[in-house]
Structure 1
Amino acid sequence: MKTKTIIIAVLGIVLYSCSPKIVPQEQPEKVVAVKEIPVDAIKKEAPEEGASYLMLSPELAEGKDLYENNCAKCHELYNPKKFTAEQWTPILIDMQKNTDLTDEQRIKVYNYVTMK
């Protein structure tokens, strides 16, 4: 019985050592092109000192446009940060009745004022 166990163990070791080795292939390094922009060009496009710019997604930009062009017709624009997301929901639903905004447009305005 000992002999069979030793033979099986040796046979397993031989088979394992003779099996083909898998070598991972190296992925080529990705090269990213970087365009240098002169400092003078950046200064020309930079906002005035003290101004801040926020890049908006197309949907948020559309919501901002809808907010500014529809809500300002009747009253001054509220600072979006003045109200919480929960407070904006009934405000927008109520104000939608005074405009031609669709539900989809109201949601875009909501996403803008709550920045979602």
Structure 2
Amino acid sequence: MKKIISFLSCVVIIITACNKKSVPIITSRETPSPVISTTKSETLVKADLTQGKQIFINRCGKCHDLPLPEQFTEKRWEGILSYMIPRARLTDEQGIHVTAYLKANAAKQN
């Protein structure tokens, strides 16, 4: 049984690593809120990041232990999220919030 689980885990990792889909980044809102700047000169509304964190904890944490956002780079998160957002059945808006939260807190690339 452990061999099957290990094999399936490897398959999932390979599939997600090879996937190059990306999720759009939130760039504007109707009502102004406090803003956080990221290293890529993108602006993310603080409320979006907070909402993304809550969705990440509540929806992603239902099925498995959650990694810390800084455990992966933005590029790695893109691969993971392109696979996991549909599996978690997140709406487009929820996916955007989770992506914004994880990318804002991701490890810096060397």
Question: TM-score of the superposition, structure 2-length normalised?
Answer: 0.51
1:98 to 87, 95, 98: 87
Larger radius of gyration, structure 1 or 2? Answer: 1
Q: Match of 1:86, as an amino acid?
A: K
Two-structure CA RMSD over aligned residues (Å): 1.7
Query: Aligned residues, how many?
Result: 61
- CA–CA distance in structure 2, aligned partners of residues 59 and 97 of structure 1: 20
2:97 to 105, 108, 111: 108
- CA–CA distance in structure 2, aligned partners of residues 63 and 74 of structure 1: 17
- CA–CA distance in structure 2, aligned partners of residues 95 and 114 of structure 1: 15
- CA–CA distance in structure 2, aligned partners of residues 115 and 96 of structure 1: 17
Q: Which residue of 2 aligns with 1:59?
A: 48
Poorly superposed stretches of 4+, deviation over 3 Å: none
**Are positions 1:73 and 2:72 aligned together?**
no
Q: Measure how far apart 1:57 and its partner are.
A: 1.0
Q: Which has the higher strand share?
A: 2
What whole-Å deviation, never above 9, does each CA across 1:22-72 have from its counterpart, x for those lacking one?
xxxxxxxxxxxxxxxxxxxxxxxxxxxxxxxxxx81110000000000110
Structure number with higher relative contact order (C-alpha < 8 Å, ≥ 6 residues apart): 2
Q: Measure how far apart 1:106 and its partner are.
A: 1.0
- CA–CA distance in structure 2, aligned partners of residues 93 and 104 of structure 1: 14
Q: Measure how far apart 1:79 and its partner are.
A: 0.6
Listed as ranges, the gaps of 5+ residues in structure 2 are: 1-44, 106-110
Q: Measure how far apart 1:75 and its partner are.
A: 0.5
Question: TM-score of the superposition, structure 1-length normalised?
Answer: 0.49
